[in-house]
Amino acid sequence: MLWQRVLTAVVGIPLTLAVVYAGGWWLVAAIALLTILALREFYHLVSSSAARASAPPPPSALAAARACGYILAVVIPAAAMPGQAMSLPHFAVGIAGLSHFALAIAVLLALASRAGRSPRFTPYLGIPTAALLLPPLFTCLLHLRLLEGEPLAGLGVPLPPGACWLFLVFAACWAGDSAAYGVGRAWGRHKLWPAVSPGKTIEGSLGGLVAAVVVVAAFGRLFGLELYFAAVLGLLLSVAGQLGDLAESKLKRWAGVKDSGSMLPGHGGVLDRFDSLLFSAPVAYCYLRFVVGL
């Protein structure tokens, strides 16, 4: 319902911005919690898919993979903090982020290519894949917050640079998702990728893309990015975010559920709200670090 979506946004957006601004171990704790919740939802989706398979695996067979995912959800963001023994240099973070992004795209294509087929293989590959994918992808949000530099005078107030860049990613996803939903409902006529998500339209996708580019260009200029760099970043974030949305839509369709969870009233679960962010974060980090040169 619309009022539930609005109420969740009214509570969630200020809380998100406060954690983004605080950064540090507050953000580590938030990312660990979100990753655990997202893994739990993913495991449930995979289990729902497995229940429809002709030979679902025994529950004990994947218990270790589930536990490994929960452990990595805490260890990886904590280890990424500066000064920790396992913290990685910027180049390694970029390579790891792009590798996980590429693997996530490969999973999406594999899901799309198996439309209508038995999902037997999903429990055996899906749970270990989620355990290895989701913690690093969520941790890319922390790496964005850790980008250093001089404080940026956004809105006339000195702000930590990492908080500004992380906010840009959230703003692009929020604006893109909202615009795609509104434009798609009002003017959507042509299906974007029916085999993956029958409800999404080309018109909605273009509306989300334009909204993301405009929002990132506006805030990017406010934070000191050249207009060209900001517009390209908005374009990349929109494309990556929509791929993430499609990947989760396909998984939900395969599992036979409407939402990944019910934790966020009006929005569904954590995966429903953060699917586009997971794909956008590594792209944003690599672009800002290696193209813009932050």
List, for residues 75-94, the tens digit of each pLDDT value: 989 988 876 545 556 666 66
| Least reliable range by pLDDT among 62-71, 89-98, 220-229, 281-290 | 89-98
Token representation of residue 147: 């980008």
121 pLDDT more than 50: no
Q: Answer with the residue of higher pLDDT: 226 or 116.
A: 226
What pLDDT was estimated at residue 22? Answer: 92
The most confident of 37-41, 104-108, 256-260, by mean pLDDT: 37-41
Give the dihedral of Cα atoms 140, 141, 142, 146; nearest 10 deg.
90
Query: Which has more confidence, 273 or 241?
Result: 241
What is the arithmetic mean of pLDDT over 57-72?
A: 76
Q: Beta-strand (E) ranges in 38-166?
A: 152-154, 157-159
pLDDT tens digit string along 12-64?
Answer: 788 998 999 999 999 999 999 999 999 988 888 777 665 555 455 556 656 77
Q: What per-residue confidence (pLDDT) applies to 151?
A: 67
Distance CA 166, CA 200 (A): 27
Helix (H, G, I), strand (E, B) or coil at 201: strand
What's the average model confidence in pLDDT over 105-124? 58
Place of tokens 């893309």: 209
CB–CB of 279/243 below 8 Å?
yes
Q: Is residue 122's pLDDT more than 60?
A: no
Of residues 144 and 6, the one with the higher pLDDT is: 144
Q: What is the dihedral of CA 39, 43, 44, 50, to 10 degrees?
A: 160
Predicted local confidence at residue 284, as pLDDT:
92
Q: Is the CB of residue 230 less than 8 Å from the CB of residue 265? A: no
Residue 60's pLDDT is 63
